[in-house]
Chains A and B, each alone.
Chain A
Amino acid sequence: MQLSRTLWRLADVVEVVPETPRTKSLVLEVPGWEGHKAGQHVDIRLTAEDGYQAQRSYSIASAPEDERLVLTVDRLDDGEVSPYLTEVLMAGDKLEFRGPIGGYFTWEAREGGPLLLIGGGSGVVPLMAMLRHRAAVGSDVPTRLLYSSRSYEEIIYRRELETLAARDGALAVIHTLTRSRPASWRGYQRRIDAEMLAEVAWSPDERPLAFVCGPTPLVEAVGAALVGLGHAAARVKTERFGATGG
């Protein structure tokens, strides 16, 4: 079982779905896929004709219960891999990957909560896998997603999040828009800070399980703020995406 996760294999690209102007979801069919846990990622490897290779990690967006494996990719302007995945790759192509990878930044409904999910930009992807898993198994674990995006148009999975929250009293989705917002916006409009976390997060007495994912500066600031508010460091798990987000 372990061995197959570390070997490079080929997935079939079934569909490439636009999510926002800069992100697309890749729907993949993987023969013999053995399943994964929400929060895990895969490594993608691209090979050019002259043998040149580039490799990056992408979080799995789909729930373990979903039929197909889905990755959501944010196109970085100066990226090497993401422009290929979002602009060149199409249905019918094959994609080389290995995984699922990671046993640390994962959540299963049976672990309980309360569940505090904090994401910045494409950092929401592994958190979305957790939310999709939670919905698929009908879990009622109290859950809050605090999601930072640059603008309304750049909120990934916006409609799906609305739907999930609307029909589930135990799930709250709170957005903050950091660069621009619609005139009618009355939500948060700044980077996540300690004050916002104090308002949104449960008190440390409730011992929430926190998962923080996004660009490294956001993750470090949020992680430090949560610990500063009294949350146990051992109950705050982080996944940094580096300088720009993966």
Chain B
Amino acid sequence: MREGFISRGFGGRRRRPDTKLPPGQYLEDGFPVLSAGPTPRTPLEAWDFSVVGEVDEPRRWTWEEFKRLPSEEITRDIHCVTKWSKLGTRWEGVSVDTLLEGVETAAEYVTAFCDGDYTTNLPLEDVTGGKAWVVYAYEGEPLEPIHGGPARLLVPHLYFWKSAKWVRGLRLTADDIPGFWESLGYHNYGDPWREQRYWGD
């Protein structure tokens, strides 16, 4: 299939590989929008965030309540499995540690569920200990719907498909349940530094 045809004079988008980036990534100036479905438009009055599943007591916050939780500014590099990376992106939101504070659970995994049908799965220890947030502002402005607003998950140490857009809650689970892309062959964990893009990497 690969006859080795090369298009004369084609270089592709200017891709600047950088030693600071994970393998196979390039720096991106824009912020590509990748969507697997229509952009949800949940009004803030109808929005809520819940922690459910293997917990002693489910929790739920309305938008008003969520915005009153202690929040922080987070500046991190992000890496998309489609090979673009952005350095020093600035967000504001609530640490998942705050959302899970005091929760009693034997669960080892969490599924982030969202408006639309998107889900993604993570080990519980990868969203705790200061590694994950639910963010509602990007670069000082409220998060736009096309980028996941009103709120999205932010887990910068893993490929960005784990930073689920339009997140509405976390379900703690005893078993690891592959999410939207994971069930289609993408890597269950997704560490960009070990280039874990696909199952079996």
Interface residues of A (CB under 8 A from B): 8, 10, 46-49, 52, 54, 80, 84, 88-89, 93-96
Please measure, in the bound complex, the distance between the C-alpha atom of A49 and the C-alpha atom of B15, giving whole angstroms: 14
State whether B5 touches A48 (Cβ < 8 A).
no
> A8 contacts which chain B residues (CB < 8 A)?
1
State whether A84 touches B5 (Cβ < 8 A).
no
Please measure, in the bound complex, the distance between the C-alpha atom of A49 and the C-alpha atom of B11, giving whole angstroms: 8
Q: Determine how close the nearest CB of chain B comes to the CB of A97; give it in whole angstroms.
A: 11
Please measure, in the bound complex, the distance between the C-alpha atom of A54 and the C-alpha atom of B14, giving whole angstroms: 13
Residues of B1-34 whose CB lies within 8 A of A: 1, 5-13, 15
State whether A93 touches B8 (Cβ < 8 A).
yes
Please measure, in the bound complex, the distance between the C-alpha atom of A46 and the C-alpha atom of B8, giving whole angstroms: 9
> B15 contacts which chain A residues (CB < 8 A)?
52
Residue in B1, B8, B9, B13 whose beta carbon sits within 8 Å of that of A80 in the complex: B13
Q: Determine how close the nearest CB of chain A comes to the CB of B47; give it in whole angstroms.
A: 26
The 9 residue pairs across chains A and B that have the minimum distance between CB atoms: A46-B7, A88-B9, A46-B10, A52-B12, A48-B12, A80-B13, A48-B10, A84-B10, A47-B7
Please measure, in the bound complex, the distance between the C-alpha atom of A49 and the C-alpha atom of B8, giving whole angstroms: 9
Q: Determine how close the nearest CB of chain A comes to the CB of B5; give it in whole angstroms.
A: 6
Q: Determine how close the nearest CB of chain B comes to the CB of A181; give it in whole angstroms.
A: 32
Please measure, in the bound complex, the distance between the C-alpha atom of A80 and the C-alpha atom of B15, giving whole angstroms: 12
| 10 pairs of residues in contact across A and B, judged by CB atoms under 8 Å | A47-B5, A48-B7, A49-B6, A80-B12, A84-B7, A84-B9, A93-B7, A94-B5, A95-B7, A96-B7
Please measure, in the bound complex, the distance between the C-alpha atom of A52 and the C-alpha atom of B6, giving whole angstroms: 10
> A10 contacts which chain B residues (CB < 8 A)?
5
Q: Determine how close the nearest CB of chain A comes to the CB of B30; give it in whole angstroms.
A: 8
Known: A8-B1, A46-B10, A54-B12. 10 other contacts (CB 8 A): A47-B7, A48-B10, A49-B6, A52-B12, A54-B10, A80-B12, A84-B10, A88-B8, A88-B10, A96-B7
> B11 contacts which chain A residues (CB < 8 A)?
48
Chain B residue at smallest Cβ distance from A81: B10
> B9 contacts which chain A residues (CB < 8 A)?
84, 88-89
> A80 contacts which chain B residues (CB < 8 A)?
12-13
Please measure, in the bound complex, the distance between the C-alpha atom of A46 and the C-alpha atom of B7, giving whole angstroms: 6
Residues of B96-153 whose CB lies within 8 A of A: none
State whether B8 touches A48 (Cβ < 8 A).
no
> B7 contacts which chain A residues (CB < 8 A)?
46-48, 84, 93, 95-96
Please measure, in the bound complex, the distance between the C-alpha atom of A151 and the C-alpha atom of B176, giving whole angstroms: 56
Residues of B52-77 whose CB lies within 8 A of A: none
> B13 contacts which chain A residues (CB < 8 A)?
80
Q: Determine how close the nearest CB of chain B comes to the CB of A53; give it in whole angstroms.
A: 8
Chain B residue at smallest Cβ distance from A243: B33
> A47 contacts which chain B residues (CB < 8 A)?
5-7, 10
Residues of B151-182 whose CB lies within 8 A of A: none
Q: Determine how close the nearest CB of chain A comes to the CB of B25; give it in whole angstroms.
A: 13
Please measure, in the bound complex, the distance between the C-alpha atom of A48 and the C-alpha atom of B15, giving whole angstroms: 12
Q: Determine how close the nearest CB of chain A comes to the CB of B14; give it in whole angstroms.
A: 10
Q: Determine how close the nearest CB of chain B comes to the CB of A237; give it in whole angstroms.
A: 21
